[in-house]
Chains A and B, each alone.
Chain A
Amino acid sequence: MADARLKALLVDDDEDVRAMLAYYLAEIVPDLNLHYRASPEVEADYDLYLIDNDFGGCQVGADLATRARELSPNSLVVAYSSKLDRDLLKKLINASCDGAFDKADPEDVKEMLRLVEGFVAQLQRERRGRSDGPVEMLREMGQLFRSWDQRLSKEENSAMQTSRAK
C-alpha cells in the first residue's frame, strides 16, 4: 500500500542541525516521513523541502530551492541560513522559496515552524477534501507576501540608516 504520510527532505551538512530540526518537525507532524541529505542535493516528490543555504562556504540555497521547485512545483520550499541579510533574503525569495529564515534567531526559527505547520494543515485539509481551495491558498499567499514585503522594507530602511550614519 502506498505511503500516504507527508514527505519531507532536510538538506543540511550539520548533523546537529538536522537532529534538532527533525525533532521540531516531528513535534508538528508526528508521523512525518523525513529524509535528509548531508550533501547539497534535492530530489523529486517531497511535500516539504528544508534547505540550508551554506555548504562548506558555498552559498547554494537559491540553486537548491530553484531545483526543488522544478522537481516538486506544489511543495513548500523553505531555506535557512546562519546569517540572513537583505541580499540573501531577496535572492532566496526570487529563487521561489516560500520562506527564508535565520536559524541563529530563535524567533525566526519559530516563524519557520509556524509556516511549516500552516502548510501541513492546509495540505492535510486538501487531502481530506476539506480545503476552501484556491481562495484560501491565495489568502495565505497574500499574507506571506505582505510579511516578506515588510521584512525587505525593514532591511532596506536599516541599510539606508546605516549609510546615512556614515
Chain B
Amino acid sequence: MSKILTASAQRRVLIVDDDRLVREMFTAALIRHDIQSLCAGDLAEAQLALSRSEAAGTPASLLICDQNLPDGCGFDLCATFRQQDWPGKILLLSASVDLSMLREARLAGVHRVLPKATPLADLLTVCMQLLESHFQQDRTALGGAAPCALVKRFLTNLEKRRTKLEDLCPARDRALIRSLAHQLRGTAALYGFPELCNAAERCEIAAIAGSDPEHLTAARIALIEELESTGRQR
C-alpha cells in the first residue's frame, strides 16, 4: 500500500540533474514559491537524498529528474523509487521526447515528460500542478492508481483478451471478434500502444460482414500475436 504524504511533505522537491547550474536554477525558482528542494547529481546521490529525507520525516513529494545521468538514466531512478513504494509525482526532463519514450515513461511511473528546452515558467507551472495533486490511494470508486500500476494492469489483462479471441471461431463468431477488436482498438490507443491499436483496427475491419474469411483469419492471428508480444512488456 502506498504511503500517504503529510501536508508538510507536499511542498518539497527532489531535483536530480548532473548539471549544477540546472539544480541551482530550479532551487532558486522553487524557493520563490516557498518550496524547499533537495538536490542530487546522480542516481546514487538521489537515493541517498530520498532516504535521508524520509528518515527525517520530510520526504519529497515531487521528483524532477533529468533523463541522462552519469550513473544511469532517469527511468532507472523512477523505477527504483516506485519499487520502494514512494508515492510522489515525477517530472522527467529529456532532450528529446517521442511516443516510445512516453510509453516507457508511463511504465516507469512518470507523471509528466517535458523537453529540456521548455521555458522555466512553463516547467514551474507543471511543478505546481503536480504538487497540488492529491496522493490518496483510494480517491475514486475504482481505487486510485498511479500510471505505472494502471499500465501494468492493462498488460496483465491482455491475457484475458487474448484467450477470448483465441476461443472464437472466425467462421462462426465474426460479430464477436469485431466487437472485441473494436473495444481493444480504443483501449490500446488510450494506454499508448499504437501497434496493438493498429492490429485491432485491422481485425475489426476484417470482421465486417461480407469480407473475405481468410482475411479475417489472418487478421485475428496477427492480433493474437500482437497481444502476446505487447503482454510480454510487463
Contacts and interface: CB of A to CB of B under 8 A. Distances in A.
Tell me which of A14, A16, A20, A31 has the highest count of chain B C-beta atoms within 10 A of its own C-beta. Answer: A16
Contacts of A27: 133
A25 B144 CA distance: 11
Contacts of B187: 14, 16-17, 82, 103
A109 B67 CA distance: 27
A159 interface: no
Given A20-B150, A23-B147, A32 B186 contact: no
Interface residues of A, number: 33
Interface in B36-59: none
B18 to A, nearest CB: 30
A22 B149 CA distance: 13
Contacts of A15: 157
Chain B interface: which size bin?
Answer: 20 to 34
B185 A104 contact: yes
Given A18-B142, A32-B140, A36-B141, A57 B186 contact: no
B191 A104 contact: no
A57 B141 contact: no
Nearest to B151: A20
Nearest to B99: A106
A26 interface: yes
B133 A25 contact: no
Contacts of A17: 186-187, 190
A30 B139 contact: yes
Contacts of B197: 104
Given A16-B153, A16-B157, A20-B191, A25 B140 contact: yes
Interface in B178-210: 178-179, 182-183, 185-192, 197, 201, 204
Contact of A54 (B145, B147, B182): B182
Contact of A57 (B178, B188, B189, B190): B178
B154 interface: yes
Contacts of A103: 186-187, 189-190
Nearest to A15: B157
Interface in B122-175: 133-134, 139-142, 144-145, 147, 150, 153-154, 157, 175
Contacts of A14: 183, 186-187
B114 interface: no
A22 B157 CA distance: 17
Interface of B: 133-134, 139-142, 144-145, 147, 150, 153-154, 157, 175-176, 178-179, 182-183, 185-192, 197, 201, 204
Interface of A: 13-20, 22-23, 25-27, 30-36, 54, 56-57, 80-83, 102-106, 109
16 contacts: A15-B157, A16-B190, A17-B186, A19-B153, A20-B191, A22-B142, A23-B145, A23-B150, A26-B134, A30-B133, A36-B142, A57-B178, A82-B183, A83-B186, A105-B189, A106-B189
